[in-house]
Amino acid sequence: MPQLTVGQALNQALREEMTRDDTVFIAGEGVGVSIHDNPMLPTAGLLRDFGPRRVRDTPVSEAAIAGLAVGAAEAGLKPVVEIMFNPFFTLASDMIVNHAAKLRYLSGGKSAFPLVVRIKSGAGFSAGCQHSHNLEAWTAHCPGLKVVMPATAADAKGLLKSAIRDPNPVVFFEDMMLYFAPGPVPEDEYLLPIGQADVKRPGRDVTVVTWSRMLGVAFKAAEQLAAEGIDLEIVDLRTLAPLDKETVLASVRKTGRLVVLHEATRTGGFAGEVAAVVMEEAFESLKAPLRRVTGPDIPVPASPPLERFYIPDAEQVITAVKDIM
Interacting residues toward other proteins by CB under 8 A? 29-30, 33-37, 57-64, 87-88, 91, 125-131, 296-299, 301-310
Which phi and psi angles does 128 have, rounded to 5°? 90, -175
Contact 66, 89 (CB under 8 A): no
Closest approach, Cβ 43 to other proteins, in A, equals 12
Alpha helices in 81-166 (DSSP H): 89-93, 103-106, 136-140, 153-165
* Alpha-carbon span 200 to 292, nearest angstrom: 19
Q: Name the residues that contact ligand TPP, by CB under 6 A.
A: 29, 60, 62, 84, 88, 91
61 contact, one of ligand TPP, other proteins, none, CB 5-8 Å limit per kind: other proteins
Active site residue 133: no
285 contact, one of ligand TPP, other proteins, none, CB 5-8 Å limit per kind: none
Closest approach, Cβ 280 to ligand TPP, in A, equals 39
Closest approach, Cβ 131 to ligand TPP, in A, equals 7
Assign 273 to helix, strand or coil: helix
Kindly state the DSSP code that residue 268 receives in the 8-state scheme.
Answer: T
Nearest to other proteins of 65, 115 (CB atom): 65
* Alpha-carbon span 203 to 126, nearest angstrom: 35
* Alpha-carbon span 104 to 106, nearest angstrom: 5
Nearest to other proteins of 151, 217 (CB atom): 217
Active site residue 262: no
Closest approach, Cβ 173 to other proteins, in A, equals 19
* Alpha-carbon span 97 to 83, nearest angstrom: 14
127 contact, one of other proteins, ligand TPP, none, CB 5-8 Å limit per kind: other proteins
> Is residue 39 reached through a cis peptide bond, with omega within 30 degrees of 0 on the bond before it?
no
Q: Is beta strand 146-148 parallel, antiparallel or unpaired with respect to 239-241?
A: antiparallel
Closest approach, Cβ 119 to ligand TPP, in A, equals 12
Nearest to ligand TPP of 91, 112 (CB atom): 91
Nearest to ligand TPP of 84, 278 (CB atom): 84
Q: How far is CA 105 from CA 70, 112, 133, 144, in A?
A: 14, 9, 29, 8
Closest approach, Cβ 234 to ligand TPP, in A, equals 34
Contact 58, 20 (CB under 8 A): no
- Candidates 16, 62, 263, 307; catalytic one: 62
310 contact, one of other proteins, ligand TPP, none, CB 5-8 Å limit per kind: other proteins
128 contact, one of ligand TPP, other proteins, none, CB 5-8 Å limit per kind: other proteins
19 contact, one of ligand TPP, other proteins, none, CB 5-8 Å limit per kind: none
Using CA atoms of 152, 41, 91, 294 in order, give the dihedral in degrees to the nearest 10: 30
Nearest to other proteins of 34, 111 (CB atom): 34
* Alpha-carbon span 297 to 323, nearest angstrom: 21
Taking alpha carbons only, the member of 260, 242, 268 closest to residue 321 is 260
- Candidates 99, 131, 133, 262; catalytic one: 131
* Alpha-carbon span 236 to 272, nearest angstrom: 16
* Alpha-carbon span 195 to 215, nearest angstrom: 17
Residues acting as catalytic residues? 62, 131
